Copies of this chain bind each other. A is one copy, B any other.
């Protein structure tokens, strides 16, 4: 069943009847994104929340000197969107790109809002999802203010153990907020230490 993963994901916080499941899945729009293709690019208005069923996406911004900053990775079973743009419906600041061939289910903003009124449980679900994102985002801010690059890397390894091996290490460098060169050196030093 193509919807098993997403229905299970919902089930973590809310319980749906058969009927509600059908209403929900009817709103979803499957889409395939090839490696290096984009789900969303800078300046576009974000019209969908995306749920990854296979593969992996990355959301990132590009600063004015051209450096990319990875905001989040979204492997299977994760939601992703440019929240700023999705909420405000203004041109967004994120690029969302596939790191490998990826399958997503799209839920349009309009459909998402229909769900809120039709099935209030969805408002509950997305409130909790957003709360968890907020806590993660705050924690990452705290980490970036108070930890060294090496400590941030160790945290990353703990939090995303599955991602580490099959992610080019310049992506990890970008996520923890250092250059690929420094990251490479740092890894070397970490090995030498133990």
Partner of A146 from the list B67, B87, B124, B134 (CB cut-off 8 Å) is: B67
How many chain copies? 2
The proximity string for A residues 68-104 relative to B, scoring 1 for CB distances below 8 Å and 0 otherwise, is 0101000000000001100100000100000000000
Known: A123-B120, A146-B63. A131 touches B83 (CB 8 A): yes
Decide if A87 touches B131 in the complex (CB within 8 Å): yes
Across the interface, do A145 and B69 meet the contact criterion of CB distance under 8 Å? yes
A 122-150 binary contact with B (CB < 8 Å = 1; else 0) = 01101100111111011111101111000
A131 to B67 alpha-carbon distance, docked (Å): 27
- Interface of chain A: mostly helix, strand, loop or mixed: helix
A177, B144: Cα distance in complex, Å: 10
> Quick one: which of B116, B134, B139 contacts A124, CB cutoff 8 A?
B116
Q: Determine the distance from Cα of A137 to Cα of B145 in the docked complex, in whole angstroms.
A: 13
Tell me which of B67, B69, B131, B142 contacts A130 (CB under 8 A): B131
Residue of B nearest to A126 (CB): B127
Most B Cβ at <10 Å: residue of A124, A126, A127 = A127
